[in-house]
Chain A
């Protein structure tokens, strides 16, 4: 699930302090009455990025997107795109285009006319419009559908028309509102990769709004997780998944076990957390930014926990005993709910490696041992 396209050696302008951001959102707030839909959001987005705003419904991500498009006016703050302040520019003059969640294709125009609409507003010569439209049609592989009306297209085709219509204007910034939301599951995966390919081909900067973490993970160069109108964490997909900075993010992205406890020892390079609900101590092999006695939370992903029948030979500290309460067979893996001695129910996933297991499989009510590496848990203080 974690993609490595932009990790490691690839371009990472956000980690270069000298890099100039392409889109600079600073202190943007939108209030509806007393309610702040977007609350003091600041973001720097770099040229050529696919930036995903991820959050549940009502978190303010769509309002933020609509402010970038110009459909809502910020109550405070500024948006600068390519050294141009967007505040006073109406939506029809912004070098920004949007792909709508409903696609918003004009039902009374053909595919071709839909795509040409934006160029006609720029009063370009007819020949030039025709050329750019046909070029765009071939990029989204819809050349033979040019004369059709939107209702004569399938969902995936409509999505590609919407994309083509927005991109043909050569915007500096493309906003995508739940771009895959209306597609069925199978089509989604295929379309995701297609979207990335087109983006790389044209080099346009994308800002994507989505509530679907899987979509964000595959598409994004970076993700901004939003909650209650604020950005909670910004990072690459792997940073967000592996190093969430709060319980909210850890819980929102993927599934996670949260063990509440108290820090009993914090030294250079290691720390120990007393965790009563687990009935043991959680040990991590890195420094924790908290002082002993403080209550903290250890977050660990279900796939990072190992399930054993026998206690491990070298008794590391991260070993907890428990009883299997539930097993759910999912095909590629199984989910176990194990009640630890301290009472906490721990979620563990194990890949189903072998097709046939002769009596090897762990069963209900069996006593088991849970272990994990000292590097696996993330210690969260908020």
Chain B
């Protein structure tokens, strides 16, 4: 129903008012700010000015509006080794963390989905509970664990497994742990929502047809849970690329992630155009996964309505 050929263009007045409020809000506080970022990314850095850039638009003496675009910031992003390595490092960290989340989250979601219905909600609550406590504090908890004189090293030393403390803080390992720890619920929830709907008789049918239990899971459950895997992975990957707090607290200072670079550029160097260019580049980088995610979101909503 409702083919695009005959879309109702005008809503009744009351409904128009209802639509207008969030519409205007999002235009003014979300879209326009992004356009300002885009504008400033093409501006010239002017360290002495307040704010520290030259507007790309200016009135020339003859009363003509002149548009002056600077591509310096973007060129810098592509040529500066620090930046190039930060891009690759961010993607690498996000990808590896997503994979680890999937490897840990899939069996967990599977186990919850196969529990008796009464205990499912208890397990789900256990998974979600940490999410409701502070994100910052949960990351902080790992400092105490991973420090050179932290809990893990102390226990390992006490057990005589190691002779001297391991360097875990301020490494990529610590960043992986932090991201997996913080984003695990985002992986488990969509996976659970998907796995819970599976018909168990499918597995029994597969086994009845001579498929071993492990092969049955690999050939039936895994392909059917693909939508959950994609949704969960994107929910972890997208924010992980732009993660700021976790690498600042747990990561090393010689391997920077892109979000940290952006904030340093902005707060330390006060180079607004370059920070803006980093932001725009980040949006472009994330556009593909974001669009995939949005299509997914719409499809799930439509399925819920049907």
Contact = CB atoms under 8 A, between A and B. Distances in A.
Interface of A: 31-35
A33 B2 CA distance: 6
A173 to B, nearest CB: 24
Interface of B: 1-6
Q: Give the interface SS of chain A, mostly helix, strand, loop or mixed.
A: strand
A268 to B, nearest CB: 52
11 contacts: A31-B6, A32-B1, A32-B2, A32-B3, A33-B1, A33-B2, A33-B3, A33-B5, A34-B3, A34-B5, A35-B1
B9 to A, nearest CB: 14
Contacts of B5: 33-34
Nearest to B12: A90
Nearest to B2: A32
Nearest to A90: B12
A130 B1 CA distance: 42
Nearest to A37: B1
The 9 closest A-B pairs by CB, nearest first: A33-B3, A33-B5, A32-B1, A33-B6, A32-B2, A34-B5, A32-B3, A34-B3, A32-B6
Contacts of A32: 1-3, 6
Nearest to A63: B1
A34 B2 CA distance: 9
Contacts of B1: 32-33, 35
A32 B6 CA distance: 7
A35 B1 CA distance: 8
Nearest to B4: A33
A33 B5 CA distance: 5
A317 to B, nearest CB: 52
Given A33-B2, A33-B3, A34-B5, 12 more contacts: A31-B6, A32-B1, A32-B2, A32-B3, A32-B6, A33-B1, A33-B4, A33-B5, A33-B6, A34-B3, A35-B1, A35-B3
Contacts of A31: 6
A31 B8 CA distance: 12
Contacts of B4: 33
A33 B3 CA distance: 5
B172 to A, nearest CB: 53
A34 B5 CA distance: 8
A31 B5 CA distance: 11
Nearest to B1: A32
A21 to B, nearest CB: 31
Contacts of A33: 1-6
A68 B4 CA distance: 25
Contacts of B6: 31-33
Contacts of B3: 32-35
B1 to A, nearest CB: 5
A31 B2 CA distance: 9
Nearest to A32: B1
A150 to B, nearest CB: 22
A35 B5 CA distance: 10
A32 B2 CA distance: 5
A32 B5 CA distance: 8
